[in-house]
Amino acid sequence: MPLPPKYGDLVYAGVLGKVIGVYMGRPYEGWSKKALEERWGYLDRYVHDDAGVPLVVADDDISGTFTFVRALEDSGRGLETAAADFGDTWLNYLIENKTILWWGGLGMSSEHTAYLRLAEGFRAPDSGSAAKNGRIVSEQIGAQIFIDAIGLALPGDMALAARMAKEAGSVAHDGEAVHAAKVQAALVSGAFTEKNMDVLLDRAVSLIPPRSLVARVHADVRAWAKANADWRKTYDRIEKKYGYRRYGGNCHVVPNHAAMVMAWAHAPASFRQSMAIICTAGWDTDCNAANVGCLMGVLLGLGGIGADYDFQAPMADRVHIPTAEGFRGVTDCLREAEAITRLGYILAGETPPPPPKNGALFHFSKPGALHGFMPETGDDLSRCASAARNMAWPPTADPSGKAAKADKVDKANKAKAAAATPPAAGRVLGWRFEIPAGRRPILATPAMPPASEGGYGMVGTPLVYPGQTVTAKVFAWPVEAVGWSGLPVAPVEASLYVSRAGRAGNARQVIEGPRVVLRPGSTRPVELKLPLKPSGKGDLVNGAWWGFDALGIMLHPPRGGAAGGLALDSVRLDGMADIDFGHALPRIGNKGDPAGWVVDASHCLEGRFSEQPEDHIRLLKNKGLGVMAIGQADWRDYAFSARAYQHLGGGTGILARYQGLRRHVALVYSNESGAIRLVERLRGETVLGEVKVKPWKTDEWHVLGLTVQGGRALASVDGKTIFDADGLRLAHGGIGFTVDTGFSGFRDGRIKPLA
């Protein structure tokens, strides 16, 4: 089936709807309708500030949705991907008690129960079956929660989306939970081409058994909605016939699916009203609002999401996805939508379109896209009047929405403006500011996930590293006056910057690039470059490499202040990391949490024992593969080395091309086998080389090295090359340390690009 028109735009709308639903519903998850109405009335808005919680949070609804769909590509089987392949994807990206899921325990959490079955060696669908886990556990809400991305990747083919939803949902669920997941995936898929809600619902329900409980829920709720326009009366009937008290477990799928049908039946053409109904109804509000929001986003498109309320600007598209891979710990809605869109093209047998603006990391090419950029107000010096929004270029209005003084721009300037039009989609991030004397407006996006966030673990790695170059293409605002309160429109200096979080009470460190003068009325593009030079020992703080947590643009006005506007066309990140990781763990703040800096798939990640002579990192795993990893997905050709010792265990080594716990290249020494092996783990394990060696003494340091270039891997021990292997299938990924059921030590990690 050919992909529908504006496929990428609708995927982005679906992703936005999903994420907005989580952020709306998360502050009061599990509340009753009565309690919600008493506190806030009709919940058609964000209430996180009133609830005293952050808006942007890590949440399983987001993380699972945008991670488990990767099985369709990771498996190498495309549309033949089966439940067992989805289970393998769980084992690659999940770290027990740390990533994606609510880890509620065996029999308490359906997903944790299924994970334990998978770890024991059971394959999906057995891992999620009622026969193995019981009906109450297997019919909770999770299969429905995580399924939207399947529909986004398979647009217009509801039957195919339902079939793949069954495979994906069966990893942890069975029975009515899988029926609900099939309906949800089919609805999202069908909304790309069918815009009539009644038709969509009819077609989706036709894909599950007519006598199933989920099918009966649809028939009842839609009939009740037609009989009475007041959704609250429909809710009362749902609560009486399908309420929580009738089902066991923590969060059964049936009551929550019924509430979703109610929202669609009563508000089939309004994003805000459908979200308000599902949120005010209570129960599992973040999950339900996320499912409702994804469908409504695809159904109504980008214009429908913000038709009468700005859901997007407060969260600026920011998303956190903690996985064992780590690379998308800090991401945004458009980047996630692009990954799904690319997958959709591949599954349809079509060539994905080239990336916007020559592959820029941030390109703002979809309406409303912010890529996480927000005016920064936390620093006393940055408290200025400032606003940013996505807009078309060249503009017919300034970022505030007021008409530009186009009559004062002569023909020559118009020609220059046209010549300077950004490439590709012609959309930019418009930034309008008023800078009093002594202030400096900042527009920034996160470059690293936060250390921790409430009930869900946070694991991730930084976005920007020493050795790379960040380039921003910026345009001065092409009108004569954009002041807010009479401040002069004057030249300002602009610079790119990165910052490091303070630790143990130390102030934040800001590293600023060269300043460039931007003159009002100029439309020529200006490139701001910040070469982040190899760190050497200069970037070590108490023995640990210290990364960057924010990336942004900073403005410096003349002495009297200034007003003006800029258009940020794109931000590029080029080059390979060049880092000395030192001998200690990078940690954040007084708690010493490394979660935002590295992937930690271990039972203990600590410094040296007090009696050991050298500082180093100790990595311990009680059973199975332990990993500490860092990097980004696009790292390709590099040399990585580190000193290592084995204290106790079955294997000690280093990793390259790391993409998760079951997708990487490893150079590992094992006392048990008396050998060093070079292996590639990808849909199983391929031994690229193995050699017997003299046994390492306990705590004896050795130097391990891995160089990867194209399909070739060179491995060395203590400076001597022992393997030169061709045929690597993994083409990119980060680096790491690893231990297999035991305890090992590491220091002096060094990654450098190849000449």
User: Around Cβ 623, how many Cβ atoms within 10 Å?
Assistant: 10
CA distance 523 to 404: 15
Tell the residue number behind the tokens 């505030």, with chain if given.
400
CA distance 16 to 635: 28
pLDDT of residue 585: 66
Residues of the chain where predicted confidence (pLDDT) is lower than 50: 397-425, 479-483, 534-538, 589-591
pLDDT of residue 543: 59
Say if residues 205 and 183 touch (Cβ distance below 8 Å).
yes
Structure-block tokens of residue 85:
């392949």
CA distance 645 to 653: 9
Tell the residue number behind the tokens 């340390």, with chain if given.
737
CA distance 553 to 441: 8
Can you list the domains of the chain with their CATH numbers? 7-55+141-166+175-319 (1.10.4080.10), 374-574 (2.60.120.260), 602-753 (2.60.120.560)
CA distance 529 to 407: 34
- CB contact set of 49 (below 8 Å; sequence gap of 6+): none
- Of 98, 99, 96, nearest to 114 by C-alpha is 96
**DSSP codes joined into one string, 570-597:** EEEEES---EEEETS---BTTTTB-TTT
- pLDDT for 106-134, tens place per residue? 999 999 999 999 999 999 999 999 999 99
Structure-block tokens of residue 666:
């490893």
- CB contact set of 238 (below 8 Å; sequence gap of 6+): 221, 224, 255, 258, 259, 262
pLDDT of residue 523: 65
- pLDDT for 65-83, tens place per residue? 999 999 999 999 999 999 9
CA distance 398 to 288: 37
- Of 447, 455, 627, 630, nearest to 100 by C-alpha is 455
Say if residues 568 and 551 touch (Cβ distance below 8 Å).
no
pLDDT of residue 100: 93
pLDDT of residue 131: 97
- Of 587, 67, 103, nearest to 328 by C-alpha is 67
The CA distances from residue 154 to 77, 148, 161, in Å, are 15, 10, 6
- CB contact set of 610 (below 8 Å; sequence gap of 6+): none
pLDDT of residue 671: 85
**DSSP codes joined into one string, 616-680:** -EEEEEEEEEEEEEE--TT--SEEEEEEEEEEEEEEEEEEEEE-STTSEEEEEEETTTTEEEEEE
Residue type, 176: E
Q: How big is the CA angle at 282 (ends 295 and 60), to the nearest 5 degrees?
A: 60
pLDDT of residue 537: 46
Strand 638-658 relative to strand 664-670, pairing: antiparallel
Peptide bond into 125 cis (omega under 30): yes
Tell the residue number behind the tokens 């916007």, with chain if given.
356
Tell the residue number behind the tokens 């998760």, with chain if given.
660
User: Around Cβ 716, how many Cβ atoms within 10 Å?
Assistant: 18
Say if residues 353 and 365 touch (Cβ distance below 8 Å).
no
